[in-house]
Structure 1
Amino acid sequence: MPSTRIETRSGWLGARRGEFIEAVQAALVEGILIPAQDRCVRLHEFELDAVISPATSSERYTVIEISLFTGRSIEAKRRLYAAMVTRLAAFGLEPHDIKVILHEVPRENWGLRGKPASEIELGFKVDV
């Protein structure tokens, strides 16, 4: 049940924004094994002068911040990072253009349906 925010410069994605969001979603499914219907991905585009990025990156530099429940293994995280690079290559991103940041949140600190997530049956495993 991750919540994902994508940040990049505006203009380069053009009409492919929806496709880009779906590629990030697919990497989440592949990497950390969430159900395909578990969807919460948002794209934020910034004007060119509103972003500075590493000198080694291109104008397509993208930061993907994922808030997710604590409990994924390092193997699952490796799968996720690799899946992001593989799936976003179709958009002209090189590995050095992609930064993924995970924010791990204990389930009791995540509210769903008016309850802590620790009190709800999620329907999928977190410890993958």
Structure 2
Amino acid sequence: MSQVKVYGVKEPLRAIRNRLSDVIHGCVVEALQFPENKRAHRFLYLEPDDFFMPEGRTEQYIIIELLMIEGRTVETKKKLITLLFDRIHRQLGLSLNDIEICILESPAHNWGFRGQTGDDVSISYQIKV
């Protein structure tokens, strides 16, 4: 299981939302071996006055949080982060300085979906990659 939250200034983020979602999903499918039909993305649009950002960032600055059931190797998570930086930069033109990524993991028993806890539900893809 994986869910993605993307935070950014409303207008610049809204302008790239669909393409960014496609890029993120492609990276998740490749690095985490996710099925194509497993996309759960949320875009959180912030007013410029509500989004304090580090010095040196532009209005295109985004934060990507990936919430996942734990179990992926360090190498797999680093591959995902590397793919995200590379493809977002190349395909959408965002500066590497304007992209921040955080992977947050929790045990399967902390998740609930399809009426069951994550450690009891049967899923169609591997988590230990």
- Relative to the length of structure 1, the TM-score reads 0.92
Contact 2:13 2:45 in 1 (8 A): no
Q: Does 1:26 align with 2:26?
A: yes
What is the DSSP-based 3-state SS (H/G/I as helix, E as strand, rest coil) of the residue aligned with 2:7? Answer: strand
Q: CA–CA distance in 1 between the matches of 2:96 and 2:31?
A: 16
Contact 2:71 2:128 in 1 (8 A): yes
Deviation at residue 109 of structure 1 after TM alignment = 0.9
Structure 1 residues not aligned, in runs of 5+: none
Q: CA–CA distance in 2 between the matches of 1:103 and 1:36?
A: 21
Q: In structure 1, give the amino acid aligned to 2:49.
A: D
Deviation at residue 15 of structure 1 after TM alignment = 4.1
Q: In structure 2, give the amino acid aligned to 1:99.
A: E
- Matched pairs, number: 128
Distance 1:104 1:13, change over 3 A: closer
Q: Does 1:42 align with 2:42?
A: yes
- Relative to the length of structure 2, the TM-score reads 0.91
Match of residue 97 from structure 1: 98
What is the DSSP-based 3-state SS (H/G/I as helix, E as strand, rest coil) of the residue aligned with 2:8? Answer: strand
Give runs of aligned pairs for residues 109-128 of structure 1, distance below 5 A. Answer: 109-128=110-129
Distance 1:23 1:107, change over 3 A: same
Give runs of aligned pairs for residues 9-88 of structure 1, distance below 5 A. Answer: 9-88=9-88
Runs of 4+ aligned residues of structure 1 deviating over 6 Å after TM superposition are none
Query: What CA deviation, in whole Å up to 9, does each residue of 1:59-83 have, x standing for no partner?
Result: 2111011110101111111111111
Q: CA–CA distance in 2 between the matches of 1:11 and 1:115?
A: 38
Q: CA–CA distance in 2 between the matches of 1:107 and 1:77?
A: 17
What is the DSSP-based 3-state SS (H/G/I as helix, E as strand, rest coil) of the residue aligned with 2:128? Answer: coil
Structure 2 residues not aligned, in runs of 5+: none
What is the DSSP-based 3-state SS (H/G/I as helix, E as strand, rest coil) of the residue aligned with 2:119? Answer: helix
Deviation at residue 27 of structure 1 after TM alignment = 1.6
Alignment root-mean-square deviation, CA? 1.4
Contact 2:29 2:36 in 1 (8 A): yes
